[in-house]
């Protein structure tokens, strides 16, 4: 009851006072509830709380990826946000995604030594990387689409290559086979994208820059 009351009250109050912050504040509210569930789970050692916590996290992720992206920020078919690019809205998106990603990373770091912890920690780790990847890709794509359209495809390729390099290095350093192979698969996707998509879409100067940077990363 407290959750539903606070959800409705924050939605109405923040929506009236500063509408762009409404969805971000609701995300923080639901993350606070998930944090409370995690605290109860750790303190009481009650395994019944684990699936409820997991469901809460899935709901928050679904809210950000489906409601906030498509309804609030109007993500279009070109994977760019609708309307004029707004740094104010970009800040709200940063708060939204950073809060969720930070919560997932914190959960991965603190949830240990529980019978259900291995599966949940794997989910948290995968979801945190996925949320960071989705946020940065959409933000870079939308920013370049608005201000540097000729560099749009190359900028996304460079970003993906940085992700691939980071995943590969961390996978090698910590001997994580899944992460290492994921980085190599992403490298393959970037290489295919560069030759079959970027070659046709990039302006000549941006094509040179993108190829040089990608070559250095590889």
DSSP annotation string for the chain:
-HHHHHHHHHHHHHHHH-GGGHHHHHHHHHHHHHHHHHHHHHHH--TTHHHHHHHHHHHHHHIIIIIIIIIIS-B-TTS-BSSS--HHHHHHHHHHHHHHHHHHHHHHHH--S-TTHHHHHHHHHHHHHHHHHHHHHHHHHHHHHHH-GGGHHHHHHHHHHHHHHHHHHHHHHTT-HHHHHHHHHHHHHHHHHIIIIIHHHS-HHHHHHHHHHHHHH-
- pLDDT tens across 3-50, in order? 999 999 999 999 999 999 999 999 999 999 999 998 898 888 788 888
pTM of the model: 0.89
Specify the pLDDT at position 112: 65
Q: In this predicted model, which residue has the larger pLDDT, 205 or 166?
A: 166
**pLDDT above 70 coverage of the chain, percent:** 97
Q: Residue 202 — very low, low, confident or very high, per pLDDT cuts 50/70/90?
A: confident
Specify the pLDDT at position 114: 55
């Amino acid at each position: 009851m407290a959750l539903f009351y606070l959800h409705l009250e924050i939605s109405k109050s923040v929506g009236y006072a500063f509408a762009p912050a409404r969805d971000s504040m609701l995300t923080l509210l639901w993350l606070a509830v998930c944090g409370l569930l995690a605290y109860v789970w750790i303190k009481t050692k009650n395994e019944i709380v684990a699936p409820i916590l997991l469901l809460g996290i899935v709901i928050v992720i679904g809210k950000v990826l489906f409601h906030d992206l498509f309804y609030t920020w109007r993500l279009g078919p070109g994977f760019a946000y609708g309307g004029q690019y707004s740094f104010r809205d970009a800040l709200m998106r940063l708060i939204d995604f950073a809060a969720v990603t930070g919560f997932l990373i914190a959960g991965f770091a603190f949830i240990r030594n529980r019978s259900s912890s291995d599966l949940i920690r794997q989910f948290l780790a995968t979801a945190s990387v996925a949320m960071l990847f989705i946020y940065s890709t959409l933000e870079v794509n939308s920013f370049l689409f608005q201000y540097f359209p000729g560099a749009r495809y190359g900028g996304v390729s460079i970003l993906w290559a940085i992700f691939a390099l980071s995943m590969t290095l961390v996978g090698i350093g910590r001997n994580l086979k899944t992460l290492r192979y994921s980085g190599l698969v992403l490298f393959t996707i970037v290489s295919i994208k560069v030759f079959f998509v970027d070659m046709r879409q990039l302006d000549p100067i941006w094509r040179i820059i993108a190829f040089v940077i990608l070559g250095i990363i590889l």
